[in-house]
Chains A and B, each alone.
Chain A
Amino acid sequence: MEKVSDFWKVLCLDFKYGFFTGVPFTEFKLLFNTMRPEFLHYVPTTNEISAVGLATGYFLTGYKSAVLLQAEKFDLIKIQLEKFNMLYKLPILIITESEYNPMKLKQFKLNEGLQSIEAADKVLYTDNEPVILVINEKDLGK
């Protein structure tokens, strides 16, 4: 079991993901509760499409960004990802709680260890396409 502070340390300090966005949801209660402005910037959005848009905007100016997304809302952002991010090769990291993957994007699981973050980051900026990181909060401890 990984510590949640180690997860943030690797993601925010080692891999420089500074901007997070998304509609808050209960499955990521621990992650949302442990976010601190000292090491990341989180913007809650009104819907999932705006979240993807904001993260893409941040990426365009050179920041690494991630979207916290409830897996069942994946269908909502399908058009935005297909007609924008994948068309112009704008990568964003999508963090979800289940393995639901209707677009068949490359998927990495945190229960395989913190090195999955490194693998996801590597693929993200070589393929220039959105990548999914699956986190089950049961695998994260305080």
Chain B
Amino acid sequence: MNRKKIMNGINDIILNSDILFCVGKPLVSEAKFHSEQTVFYHPDDSVDVISVAVGVAMSTEKRVIIIMEDCYLLRHINSILQAVVSKCKNLYLFLIVSNVYNTLLIQETIFSVIRDIRSTMFSLGFFTYNHSNYFKSKPEIKKLKEIFKAARGPFITFIELTDSKVYKNELNINSILEFCNGIKSTDTELPKIHSVLDLDSIMVTI
């Protein structure tokens, strides 16, 4: 299984109303989703997109899906804690396990060093799954679609990669700007704040 096959599989199981965050250069270059307006591609690993997705998940009822690789998990593991603490039922993480951080250098990875990262994630508070086998054939992906519809977050699934070949596609920055504008216009509501007539009365205890 390569990234392209996995991304096509994920494309089949998501709904049009879902908001997707796809991070990391190899994944972004392989990703082609049908619901372009709700997909946020970010090739730069140095930026913390997980917490942005958590912020979106906290403020909307739509399903928010983050697709990332294991090197990104290692880099932003702080935000994983934030995702768990938020207890968002609409937050889903697809973790693609490549076990390769650098093609030129063989090194230890988060999966080889931590004894069992799946149980670690479960202990933190994620509903943890391994859906690698579902991505092997089309009928299996259909089954996964039904499973995924009923799944609730905070959800993390591990998908193991066997072929780490990358086909390069150019990414247009306009698609990202479209996402920002799209999400604002489709999902925007005025902030809901309780009307407080006398703020001083609330602060009596100060």
Contact = CB atoms under 8 A, between A and B. Distances in A.
B184 A60 contact: yes
Contact of B58 (A38, A54, A89): A54
B176 A88 contact: yes
Interface residues of A, number: 45
Interface stretch (A42-50, A100-108, A112-120, A130-138): A42-50
Interface string A51-87: 1111111111111110000000000000110011000
Contacts, number: 131
B186 to A, nearest CB: 10
A122 interface: no
A126 interface: no
A60 B177 contact: no
Most A CB atoms within 10 A — which of B55, B180, B192? B55
A39 B187 contact: no
B47 A57 contact: no
Most B CB atoms within 10 A — which of A13, A36, A46, A57? A57
A36 B189 CA distance: 22
A40 B192 CA distance: 10
A61 B180 contact: no
B104 to A, nearest CB: 24
Contacts of B195: 13
A60 B52 contact: yes
A53 B194 contact: no
Interface in B141-178: 176-177
A99 to B, nearest CB: 26
B119 interface: no
Chain B, interface SS category: helix
Contacts of B44: 83
Given A33-B206, A62-B189, A80-B47, A56 B194 contact: no
Given A45-B82, A60-B184, A53 B202 contact: no
Given A58-B55, A60-B55, A38 B189 contact: no
Interface of B: 42, 44, 46-60, 78-79, 81-82, 86, 176-177, 180, 183-184, 187-196, 199-200, 202-203, 206
22 contacts: A5-B203, A8-B199, A13-B196, A18-B191, A46-B78, A47-B78, A50-B82, A53-B50, A54-B52, A55-B55, A57-B54, A57-B55, A57-B59, A60-B56, A60-B180, A61-B183, A62-B59, A62-B190, A62-B191, A65-B55, A84-B52, A142-B206
